Structure 1
């Protein structure tokens, strides 16, 4: 048997997008191992529980008040031990997190080939998102195989001088898992949190428009988050037939902004704890529209035919903006309110599934490409 392919995961978003690829390797009887840094421990474990997966290696790096210096140093030291132990034929990383950058750099130091899933996303602003833009550009310099989700991200890599033979346009693996979860939910094959289900059913029975709101970006901490929440509060007070659901990210900066904005006291805004992935997708399916600063939720919402208000000044996912499915508004209160009003008047009947971010076959393409390139 060939040496193993090693997937390195640190956050919930990475797990959501890499676990279907891990399962695709397993289905093809390819020797594959899963290493979890647990950069975000509880959120990451939720995804493993849904898919009933236990990582082969748990690096257990998360501590209270961890910073980027601690994370990079600790991840590189602990993942080095894993690399020495298993001697992988390829290390696969995803996206742009500190886990991604640290695992790729450690592999480079040990002359281990690296594959980069969701490669080529760019905002053109090194400080937004921070530190993600730098992370993904560094991984581009390291990676041997680049799996770009769209034609635009492919073009970004080629424009930066990456060899055409090393770049592959595969679609985004998030659509693979989204379609899988959608089927489970619509066919009652998975249990949804009863509290969330009751909230949605009650809102529908009262003919309320349902809005999903998420906000957690580091570059918005402080006044930016407060402006977002103030805008949402104003909109909610103007439209009593709207129900806004905010799953609060556990980051203390987000919780402080929620408290400072007074959004908790608005009757038609419900603040929940961070949702399990399956419950988040259920909420997305049943939402009329979405306001978010999450890249993954942008992709999922647009793929489900939802209109998205992007609460960021810049985005690396321009496809949805060009398509007309997304409004890029940043944290400007007037722009947010204007976009909220526009979405309020959209007809739910106009929703149409979109394939601009992927068609649900990305994992199979990546497995096939790796098999060919590694001769396995």
Structure 2
């Protein structure tokens, strides 16, 4: 039997994290001829994940340019991925999530009548500007994908409400849990992979660590200023330290470098590779984030998540009690973090809540669906 050719297309660090376990599984399965195309949408951060996971792309478009507009990026993605599709002529194209790479890769496949499998399908916030432009990217892919691989029943139901054919929707769990299990086991075998935080662990010994990430476009400007104020106030506590890998985007760096320099209880550090980020999750008491992936990852390690956004396309965490929406109001961020730090019962309720995002077997389910 001829192997089914699968082209997996991605370009950002979160996409790489959520897809490398699937690529590993496809490579190991004789039923598939697995090919990989990366756009380079997150160049440095993407390469870190590729190296750790041992993924060597068959095609690297390296499309990012300084201050590139979304329409210029989308045009380059659409034509660049289109050329790869014409060369490879795959049986299926796999994309993940909500990035410009996922949307353009899926659209290029649709133009060639190649079926698209959408990993992490069906996430919806209900607001096309939050997250922006990710909400619309997901809706575009969801309008024509042939296989919708929903991480949760909530996501599957969102697709059904949009009149997606129920026969094409499958609840698989989220591949980020598969990835987290993989990297945690790898670090256990090779501790040196995540030893780069040891100096901060020693510096903040005896303090409760708040891990933090922030990078969303809708928070640029006043939102980032308010987040910086909240972090400053929280770090004024003698029992707290904040470790903040600062995103490379200048809209984040300019604010944080100006507002949070040289504070004893705050460590502004460079973006972390995946093993070190898993270590940050492990040593943190709680996470402050506007990231989507952290809302899924932190609960897998029993860490409460305060989400610095007004809406989330991952309501399952809020409903389960693992996450709480706090927006970008400094007073609210400080109040909710203080509650978790000072109220053991409130903390335990979030830390022990069931993680709704999967059991670590999502990849296994997706592989079998693609084999059909």
**Residue 359 of structure 2 aligns with which residue?**
359
Match of 1:283 in 2: 280
Closer, same or farther: CA 32–324 of 1 in aligned 2, 3 Å: same
Does structure 2 conserve the Cα–Cα contact (< 8 Å) formed by 1:304 and 1:354? no
Following superposition of structure 1 onto structure 2, how do residues 1-376 of structure 1 map, counting pairs within 5 Å?
1-29=2-30, 30-185=32-187, 187-203=188-204, 206-237=205-236, 239-260=237-258, 262-347=259-344, 351-352=351-352, 354-372=354-372
Contact 2:321 2:353 in 1 (8 A): no
Deviation at residue 128 of structure 1 after TM alignment: 0.7
Q: Is the 8 Å Cα contact of residues 34 and 57 (structure 1) preserved in structure 2?
A: yes
Q: 2:143 is paired with a residue of what secondary structure?
A: helix
Specify the SS of the correspondent of 2:261.
Answer: helix
CA distance in 1, matches of 2:104, 2:9: 10
Give the distance between the partners of 1:202 and 1:354, measured in 2 at CA: 32
The 1-side partners of 2:248 and 2:139 are apart by 28
Whether the 8 Å CA contact 1:15–1:47 is kept in 2: the answer is yes
TM-score (norm 1): 0.94
Question: Is the 2:97–2:119 contact (alpha carbons within 8 Å) kept by the matching residues of 1?
Answer: yes
Give secondary structure in 2 for the equivalent of 1:192. Answer: helix
Aligned length: 367
Deviations 1:231-270 (A, max 9, x none): 1101111x1111100000000000111134x212321000
- Partners of 1:113 and 1:191 lie apart in 2 by 42
Residue aligned with 1:168, SS: strand
Secondary structure, counterpart of 1:224 in structure 2: helix
Checking the alignment, whether the CA contact within 8 Å between 1:313 and 1:328 is kept in structure 2 is yes
Measured on the aligned residues, the alpha-carbon RMSD in Å equals 1.5
Contact 1:175-1:303 within 8 A present in 2 as well: yes
State the shift of 1:346 in Å.
4.9
Distance of 1:324 and 1:352 partners within structure 2: 9
2:76 match: secondary structure: helix
Q: Quick check: 190-199 or 67-76, which moved more? A: 190-199
User: Which structure 1 residue ranges, 5 or more long, are not aligned?
Assistant: none
TM-score, L = length of structure 2: 0.95
Q: Distance in 2 between matches of 1:184 and 1:190?
A: 8
Instruction: In structure 2, list runs of 5 or more residues that go unmatched.
Output: none
